[in-house]
A = this chain, B = another copy of it.
Amino acid sequence: MWDRLRRDFDVGYIDEDIVDVLELIFRREHSFTISSCSGRITILDGPMPWDRKESTIVFKKHSPVSLDEVVNVLKQPVLYCLWLIVSGPIIHVVSDSLGEALEILRIAREAGMKHSGILSISDRGVISELRTGIRLSILLKIRNDVVIDLSRLKSVIDVANNALLEGKERLRRLREALIRTGRQ
């Protein structure tokens, strides 16, 4: 699984912000990661942000966005609604025992990833999701009508970028908590 992760990283599937955190989890004897995101800003066209079937991602970035980038996306025609989504970091971990999964959850919660929990338990292991409560879904357009006052768009983007950075900060805390726990 580690070789696979390195390969994915080398071809650019994994963002740099998170690879060392994944490595720290892999170094634990009884856990490894299966998917992850360091936090990102996406703009998607869809009826609702959670409606994956009908939605199309039109923009995606793992670092702060600029006014120009959003203005460019706003110019394009929209089928449903245009949502600017900020999501915090998220990591899926497989552990070989319940005890190890609960320990990983404890570390994650301590680092501010308070929406973490166990998703499934089977012969193949315990799958946990490490997640923060950081999430924004800002409505930009309904069909082709911009709903944000354009003179305020810069401030709205500042709020979105701050939310993204708050997510990266939780990732930094998780990294430190994992190093601290690994040393014990």
- Per-position binary interface string of chain A over residues 92-129, scored 1 when its CB falls under 8 Å from any chain B CB and 0 otherwise: 00000010001001000000000001111100000001
Q: In the complex, which of the residues B118, B121, B139 contacts A156, with contact meaning CB atoms closer than 8 Å?
A: B139
Give min CB distance, A30 to chain B, whole Å: 16
Partner among B102, B129, B145, B155 whose Cβ is within 8 Å of the Cβ of A145: B155
Number of chain A interface residues as a range: 20 to 34
Return the chain B residue nearest A153 by Cβ.
B147
Verify if A48 is at the interface (C-beta below 8 Å from B): yes
Q: Which of A49, A132, A139, A163 has the most CB of B within 10 A?
A: A139
Contact with B along A148-184 (1 / 0, CB 8 A): 1100100110010011001000000000000000000
In the complex, chain B residues whose CB is within 8 Å of the CB of A37: none
Residue pairs across A and B with Cβ atoms less than 8 A apart, 6 shown, are A50-B135, A118-B118, A137-B137, A138-B139, A147-B152, A148-B149
